[in-house]
Amino acid sequence: MIRVALVEDSDADAAVVCDYFSRYEKEKGISVNVKRFNNAVIFLDPYLPEYDLVIMDIQMPYMNGMDAAHKLRELDNSVLLVFMTSLKQYALQGYEVQAANYFVKPISYFDFSLKLEKTLLKTAAISSRGIIIRSDIGSVRLSPETILYVEAEGHHVIFHTLSGDYTQYGSISEAAKKLGSFNFAFCNRCYLVNLRFVQSIKGYDAVLDGCVLRISQPKKRSFLAAFEAYASSL
């Protein structure tokens, strides 16, 4: 099943999209569950990272779609995002928030089905990659490819990502279980490192993009082996 959040203030436009999804389901033999939100505020407060696809109108009251998309990316950097707009120039700003596509109103079924087909090809990979954490700002879905490293700090772990830091109550060993198949390795007992961001290893220092993490003596051999295995697989 494809789970879709439709954030659209216009009843008429929302009805068109829901009708198109029903038609698409019958043509493709798939199941789609669409949940409609009248505005971005009720969609984001609270946001639940349970969708495969978010379709977001840009011109809405209370909070416009572009501002909402930036807030969405703080909470979920994996979910696929498609904009709806009557002005094409707004859609071009979607690159700032990794929008997968956009629909220009009035939407034809041909354009809808063509762009939806291309977008949904990505959903299986996105769903399998995302991990959900309960951070200090609520439930957040993170793509492992955007996590630089995970840091243990007392009874909490900090996920340092390309889009910012997220703190969760728990242990770093629990984080390691979630990220076990995504090329992460311990450089010491407090740091779990995404090997794709390691630029070099100098002595007991792992040099990442923008920071240097210390490699402990007990972990050096295993960390070097993991890094060499990852590098040789590229």
pLDDT tens sequence across 4-60: 999 999 999 999 999 999 999 888 888 899 999 999 999 999 888 888 899 999 999
Domain at 185, CATH number? 2.40.50.1020
pLDDT higher than 90, residue 69 = yes
Instruction: Enumerate the β-bridge partners of residue 185.
Output: 193
Q: Same domain for 136 and 124?
A: no
Q: Same domain for 104 and 158?
A: no
Q: Is 10 exposed, middle or buried (0-12, 13-18, 19+ CB in 10 A)?
A: middle
Which tokens hold the place of 67?
A: 């501002």
Q: Same domain for 88 and 10?
A: yes
Q: Same domain for 13 and 100?
A: yes
Write the single-letter amino acid at 182: F
Q: Same domain for 111 and 160?
A: no
Q: Same domain for 41 and 107?
A: yes
Q: What is the pTM of this model?
A: 0.61
Nearest to 175 by CA among 132, 207, 138, 211: 132
99-114 average pLDDT score:
91
User: DSSP class of residue 98?
Assistant: T
The order of strands in the sheet holding 164-169 is 138-142, 131-135, 164-169, 156-161, 147-153, 191-194, 184-188
pLDDT higher than 90, residue 157 = yes
- What pLDDT score was predicted for residue 162? 82
CA dist., res. 74 & res. 105, Å (int): 27
CA dist., res. 183 & res. 94, Å (int): 30
User: 4 and 33 in contact (C-beta within 8 Å)?
Assistant: yes
| Cα angle: 193, vertex 196, 165; to 5 degrees | 50
The boundaries of the domain holding residue 216 are 132-233
Q: Same domain for 83 and 157?
A: no
- What pLDDT score was predicted for residue 50? 84
Domain edge (last residue) among 95, 128, 161: 128
Q: Same domain for 103 and 177?
A: no
When comparing pLDDT for 115 and 162, which is higher?
Answer: 115
Q: What are phi and psi of 99, to 5 degrees?
A: -70, 135
Q: Same domain for 150 and 119?
A: no
User: 208 and 197 in contact (C-beta within 8 Å)?
Assistant: yes
Nearest to 65 by CA among 109, 6, 137: 6
Q: Same domain for 51 and 117?
A: yes
Q: Same domain for 148 and 95?
A: no
Q: How many domains in the chain?
A: 2
Q: Same domain for 122 and 226?
A: no
Domain edge (last residue) among 101, 128, 155: 128
